[in-house]
Structure 1
Amino acid sequence: NKAVEETDNKILTYNENIASIYYHSTCGGRTEAAHNIFTKKEIPYMNGIEDGISPNCKISPKFEWRESYSADDIISRLKKWSFIKNGKFRLRDVYIASRFSSGRVKEMVFELIDEYSDEIKISIYGNQIRSVIRTANNKRILWSTFFDISLIKNVIKIEGNGFGHGVGLCQYGAISLSRKGWDFNEILEHYFPGIEIKSIND
């Protein structure tokens, strides 16, 4: 296998140290900074990049996606995660309060009215949104946090891009770049700016 032979005994380093890296399926056009998802400490070679003027991962089946929920679907998920207790609730509003610089959702807010007419506001942050909301069929976590949301007549619609946390190498983007003739060095340096590729024996 040519790819295996070319990368045999190769490692990624940054400032003479072995680099810790992440990867995901589909970035949707821009990768995410590692410190927004995995660690509070900034990692210089994983601060997020724009993945092409015309996104390289457009070839992915999850470059664009849509999910639709009833208000009861959302309330059920909030109960499961103990954001609210059992009882009757009405979903009054849902909106995105803030985003990371990549465009991914940083804070998502749900406004509910309980059976006593009291107002409840729930905030969910970052990648946890994917675990709480899940896909409409409830079979897996939500594709990504790179999305817009609307509430119309008790129907919540989410329209998004990408698949995964968005940090590091975009697999579909890398496939696209390789088809354009980029070699593995160029692809890795694109997704991890500032890294060096060295032989393990150097």
Structure 2
Amino acid sequence: MVFIEKMKWWLCLAAGAGVGVCLCGTVWGSSQPPTVRVAIVRDTKELTLAVEGAFDISAVPAGKKIYHGSRLASSKAVAVDKGIKIHQTVYDASSLRISAHKKAAIFVNHRPYRGDIVLIRSAEGSLSAINVLDVESYVKGVLVHEISPAWPIDAIKAQAIAARTYALYQKEISSHRPYDLVADTFSQVYGGFASERNKTNRAVNFTFGEVLLYGGKIFPAYFHATCGGSTESAAELWKLDIEPLKGDRLCSFCSASPHYYWNISLDFKTIRKKLGPFYTLQGELQNISVEERNASGRVHSLRLKDEAGDSVVISAKDFRQAMGPDIVRSTNFTITVKGSKVVFNGKGWGHGVGLCQWGALGMSRRGYDYKEILAFYYPGSRVTKIY
């Protein structure tokens, strides 16, 4: 997708009372929570907008107010040749910012959001909606999708800090894009105001401004559901080799997870179809075997063999993505071939890097607080209040 407008927000955050560590490593003064830009709708023909109270529409990037309304009833927003059409009005702009007064909710496709909504018309004529809001409100809209509000508060606090850290890291590296995060599993699942719960909001408020730093800098605090006994190195998946993400944690805390053990049976025809362009053999798939395991015991690569005896090696990461991460739940598995079927017996759910969410539950139930949980899963990092 090519966007006509490329908006940039630069991130420089403070720590402590008056002086702190900027995310880029610079000493800076104190500040309010930074904003993040979340793509909640991407590349659609139209979407539905509504505002509960008074609102303004401004042109981006000029910031000039071009419309004020007392309320916006449910209306269609469409990308048109001359700009963006909302209800019956065409605005001659490739990007519009909708700002509600008195923190009124803005509804996009019938879901309420805090903050502002930026509509962007692409060069191809599609429409995207970006929710611009402070990171604290963003995390409140994330937590219920990532962790149960019924869990102990320290497990939720640990997740809040991991989610906040991950979001601000993505903000640091996304200046070339019109958004920092997306609202699905490619970033963190985000549901806006409707996803907030009292207990998860308390965890966010309690950890206000706290992030994980390593060497004075923020880093991507990855997390997953269940490690299955040991965490994975980020270098294995994303070529990121830093101490907090080395994946050398032997975890006995997630054994109660319903995802600790799993199994799935797939036939060869289904596997070949799902592999798509990853399948480069000429004949029909006839065998799959583990080619190599890494230091954590997970599968690093697989060997595929066809009926002619030719074979090819594929990374376990690509294989899992092709099968579907909800089907092959991790790369920690064994393989048994039974006729035309391949049986995968595995442990854990997710990539295994960083915080193990069910491990955080187990640790909190044993009396560990949120800082001890984070220190275990991100060794060498520090919980630091940066604003």
**TM-score normalized with structure 2 length:** 0.45
Say which is worse superposed, 140-149 or 103-112, in terms of deviation. Answer: 140-149
Matches within 5 A, 1:103-118: 103-113=297-307, 118=308
Matches of 1:5 and 1:75, distance apart in 2: 48
The answer to whether the 8 A contact 1:49-1:191 is kept is no
1:157 to 338, 343, 359: 343
Residue 12 of structure 1 aligns to a residue whose secondary structure is strand
Residue 26 of structure 1 aligns to a residue whose secondary structure is coil
**Root-mean-square deviation over aligned CA pairs:** 2.0
2:268 is the alignment partner of 1:83: no
Deviation at 1:153, TM superposition (A): 2.2
Deviation at 1:90, TM superposition (A): 4.9
Matches of 1:124 and 1:106, distance apart in 2: 9
1:44 to 243, 247, 255: 243
Change (3 A) 1:120 1:45: same
1:100 to 291, 294, 306: 294
2:291 is matched by which residue type in structure 1? Answer: A
Deviation at 1:94, TM superposition (A): 1.4
Deviation at 1:154, TM superposition (A): 2.5
Higher-Rg member (1/2): 2
Which of structures 1 and 2 has the larger relative contact order (alpha carbons within 8 angstroms, sep 6+)?
1
Hey, which bits of structure 1, 4+ residues long, moved more than 4 A?
none
Deviation at 1:47, TM superposition (A): 0.4
2:219 is the alignment partner of 1:15: no
Residue 142 of structure 1 aligns to a residue whose secondary structure is coil
Matches of 1:41 and 1:164, distance apart in 2: 17
The answer to whether the 8 A contact 1:37-1:126 is kept is no
Aligned residue pairs, count: 187
2:322 is the alignment partner of 1:127: no
Deviation at 1:84, TM superposition (A): 3.8
- Gaps (5+ residues) in structure 1? none
The answer to whether the 8 A contact 1:105-1:146 is kept is yes
Matches of 2:386 and 2:271, distance apart in 1: 50
Deviation at 1:37, TM superposition (A): 0.8
The answer to whether the 8 A contact 1:24-1:168 is kept is yes
Residue 28 of structure 1 aligns to a residue whose secondary structure is coil
Matches of 1:57 and 1:6, distance apart in 2: 25
